[in-house]
């Protein structure tokens, strides 16, 4: 009887996940790869160039307002071959030296700077959950198979995860073109955050309400054939809402540019603040330029928006203090 109840519960869960309105969740076109990339944490191979990039991760706060991560955004690409799924995740990180990562394979990796990946294959009875920290340590939360590869490379402003996951590890069969899988890619951010009350402590690709395993709100991977052209058109479609949001933020900043340019010009008069003030001034000029473009680059907008006002205010405040308290 217990077995029957479990089967019925599973069937109900599958029905909820696969019958929910696709228009309400994010969709990623997962193309077949022409060739399999080497899993080395470097994304300079031809295999990744035609894969569209999804970004615009949300801050998870247990429901409420849909709020995008600003300081530390995340993006990913994905593709597939007959035997495995390939995913590459870029995690912006302005303080890589402060990242928390000590645990080895099998540890509670979600407590460190890490990426969590959830997949619900079409023919599987339940979802799979994999976790990789910034040391490349791996955890299969809901299974025992460890014959999957993950490699992380940490840079000055980001860390990159590249992984290969055989479909057998995900308790599913090789998908067919047109198949759709509920998927969540999420991030645990510990660098520079004291506790879970920090804004960008948990972020995820879909907007979630009840946790990273909120299946009813997962995004979807739609499996497709090889990409035939550059991914820009698909990227614009995948990230349309996020692009619109970022363009709105750029226009707001552009309206403040003249004031900040004037104040930063004063800050440049301080010899020890000149370099910082000049760098910020150039970013404000770029904001104005981007606000006038009909199709600004999403990466440029993200870089410009990342705490520009706060950084500028801090620089200007330090200059005022020097003027007020100079001998």
Q: Domain count of the chain? A: 2
Of 262, 303, 273, 274, nearest in space to 286 by CA:
303
Instruction: Name the least confident of 175-179, 275-279, 304-308.
Output: 304-308
Same-domain check for residues 219 and 309:
no
The residues near 23 (Cβ < 8 Å, ≥ 6 apart) are: none
Does 10 fall in a domain?
Answer: no
Same-domain check for residues 159 and 43:
yes
Q: What is the mean pLDDT of residues 71-82?
A: 96
Of 175, 210, 238, which residue sits at a domain end?
238
Same-domain check for residues 214 and 260:
no
Same-domain check for residues 114 and 260:
no
Same-domain check for residues 92 and 163:
yes
Using a pLDDT cut of 70, give the percent of the chain over it: 90
Q: What is the pLDDT of residue 133?
A: 98
Strands 202-204 and 58-59 come out as: antiparallel
The answer to whether the beta carbons of residues 205 and 26 sit under 8 Å apart is yes
pTM of the model: 0.86
> Is residue 46 packed enough to be buried (19+ CB in 10 Å), middle (13-18) or exposed (0-12)?
exposed
Q: What is the mean pLDDT of residues 125-133?
A: 96
The SS3 call for residue 289 is helix
The tens digit of pLDDT for each residue in 9-54 reads 444 444 444 444 433 579 999 999 999 999 999 999 999 999 999 9
Same-domain check for residues 101 and 207:
yes
Q: Any idea what the CATH number is for the domain that residue 72 is in?
A: 2.60.40.1190
The tens digit of pLDDT for each residue in 232-253 reads 889 999 999 999 999 999 999 9
Band of the pLDDT at 113, cuts 50, 70, 90?
very high
Same-domain check for residues 305 and 227:
no
The SS3 call for residue 14 is helix
Same-domain check for residues 218 and 248:
no
Same-domain check for residues 86 and 175:
yes
Does 14 fall in a domain?
Answer: no
Of 188, 223, 238, which residue sits at a domain end?
238
Same-domain check for residues 233 and 85:
yes
The residues near 324 (Cβ < 8 Å, ≥ 6 apart) are: none
Same-domain check for residues 125 and 231:
yes
Q: What is the pLDDT of residue 194?
A: 65
Same-domain check for residues 26 and 42:
yes
Can you give the residue range of the structural domain that contains 199?
Answer: 20-238
Does 15 fall in a domain?
Answer: no
Does 208 fall in a domain?
Answer: yes
What separation, in Å, do the N-terminal and C-terminal C-alpha atoms of the chain show? 84
Full DSSP string of 123-139: T-SS-EEEEEETT--EE
């Amino acid at each position: 009887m217990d077995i029957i109840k479990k089967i019925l519960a599973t069937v109900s869960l599958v029905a909820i996940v696969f019958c929910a309105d696709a228009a309400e969740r994010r969709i990623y076109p997962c193309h077949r790869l022409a060739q399999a990339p080497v899993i080395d944490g470097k994304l300079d191979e031809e295999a990744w160039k035609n894969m569209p990039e999804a970004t615009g991760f949300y801050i998870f706060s247990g429901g409420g307002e849909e709020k995008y991560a600003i300081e530390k955004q995340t993006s990913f690409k994905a593709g597939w071959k007959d035997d495995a799924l390939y995913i590459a995740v870029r995690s912006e990180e302005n303080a890589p030296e402060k990242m928390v990562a000590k645990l080895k394979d099998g540890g509670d990796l979600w407590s460190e700077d890490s990426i969590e990946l959830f997949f619900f294959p079409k023919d599987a009875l339940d979802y799979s959950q994999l976790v990789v920290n910034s040391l490349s340590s791996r955890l299969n939360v809901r299974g025992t198979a460890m014959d999957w590869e993950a490699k992380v490379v940490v840079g000055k402003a980001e860390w990159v995860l590249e992984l290969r996951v055989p479909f057998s590890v995900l308790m599913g069969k090789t998908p067919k073109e047109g198949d759709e899988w509920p998927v969540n890619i999420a991030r645990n951010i510990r660098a520079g955050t004291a506790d879970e009350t920090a804004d960008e402590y948990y972020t995820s690709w879909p907007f979630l309400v009840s946790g990273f395993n909120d299946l009813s709100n997962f995004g979807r991977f739609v499996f497709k054939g090889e990409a035939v052209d550059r991914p820009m058109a698909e990227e614009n479609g995948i990230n349309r809402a996020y692009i619109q949001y970022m363009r709105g933020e750029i226009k707001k900043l552009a309206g403040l540019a003249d004031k900040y340019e004037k104040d930063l010009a004063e800050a440049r008069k301080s010899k020890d603040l000149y370099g910082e003030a000049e760098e910020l001034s150039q970013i404000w000029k770029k904001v104005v330029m981007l606000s006038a473009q009909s199709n600004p680059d999403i990466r440029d907008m993200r870089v410009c928006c990342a705490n520009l006002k706060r950084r500028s205010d801090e620089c200007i405040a330090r200059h005022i203090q020097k003027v007020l308290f100079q001998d």
